[in-house]
Amino acid sequence: MNYSKKIDRNILSSKKNGWTPGWFDCDRFDSELIDSIMAFQREHSLSDDGIVGPITYRRVKTHRLFEEDFIPKKRNKRRGEKHIVYGGNKFPIKWEKVILWDDHGGLPAKEGCYYDWSKKPLRQPIQFVNHWDATLSSEACARIINKRRLSMHFLIDNDGTIYQMLDIQHVAWQAGSKLWNTNGIGVEISNAFYTRYQSWYEKRGFGPRPVITSEVNGRSVGPHLDFYPVQLDALAALWAAVADAIVIDLDVCTTKGVCEKCTSFTCKPFINHYNLTRNKIDCSSLDMQAVLKKALPLTV
């Protein structure tokens, strides 16, 4: 693709996502901007096509929040629900803090960014997809996915607070294809991934994140930031509550990469985003068996 085509693509992307050339220290849409985007992409180990697509947008937005010393709102101090919502009904979860989309301080999915199934029969999802959000907090994640016109059922914040953005009955645009979305449920566990963001967590009082090297599709990933233990406890409670509510097996896929059986719904219900597509590496560091072991005693 030549420079002028790339410039056109970036003008479209900037209108859609609300970024400006200033985010890359440039003042207009020109070849200098393309070079600057490419430099940013190389610095973040992204493919350097010079176009601000969805992945680059998320990275640059996170980078800006970090530079601006983003402070999440103090919305997590309040007592939360002890339920998740499926088909308009509340189902119990063995976790202290769940904040629903319509609670004070909730993070609702944006209208028009999911398939509204309120007039349809009860949806019966068969797959639960784990993602990491590659940004600083669930609040930042909600902003990014709403802006990108995507959606997610659940978010898990740095302190283990679970946000439900959307009734499980509705179809979230989370897994990358209509078939997977229609049959799935998604969670984004907050984790900014790059070790350069460690100082933000320490400054905000969350303490340092574990740093590890993981593997997906036979390739080494990292070293990168990993989840906090409290996030994994929250995830285990969420898996158990979801398995009880929608009545699916509480069991996991352990393939460390694309899994043909996952892509055709013949695998275990609890999977990672990387099981569905080669383009994704989340959540390469998640020990599925360890979370499962924690989740099993939490079912009703």
Residue 267 within binding range of Zn ion, rule CB under 5 A: yes
The single residue listed with the structure tokens 């898996």 is 239
Residue 262 within binding range of Zn ion, rule CB under 5 A: yes
Residue 259 within binding range of Zn ion, rule CB under 5 A: yes
Of residues 97, 93, 94, the one with CA closest to residue 77: 97
Residue number with CB closer to Zn ion (36 or 254): 254
- Contact code string over 227-256 relative to Zn ion, x by CB under 5 A: --------------------------x-x-
d(CA 224, CA 209): 9
Of 5, 178, 219, 261, the one binding Zn ion by CB under 5 A: 261
Residue 258 within binding range of Zn ion, rule CB under 5 A: no
Which range in 68-76, 240-248, 257-265, 285-293 contacts Zn ion by CB under 5 A? Answer: 257-265
Residue number with CB closer to Zn ion (13 or 217): 217
Minimum distance, C-beta of residue 254 to Zn ion, in the bound complex (Å):
8
Residue number with CB closer to Zn ion (113 or 235): 235
Residue number with CB closer to Zn ion (89 or 277): 277
Residue number with CB closer to Zn ion (80 or 269): 269
Residues that bind Zn ion (CB under 5 A): 253, 255, 259, 261-262, 267
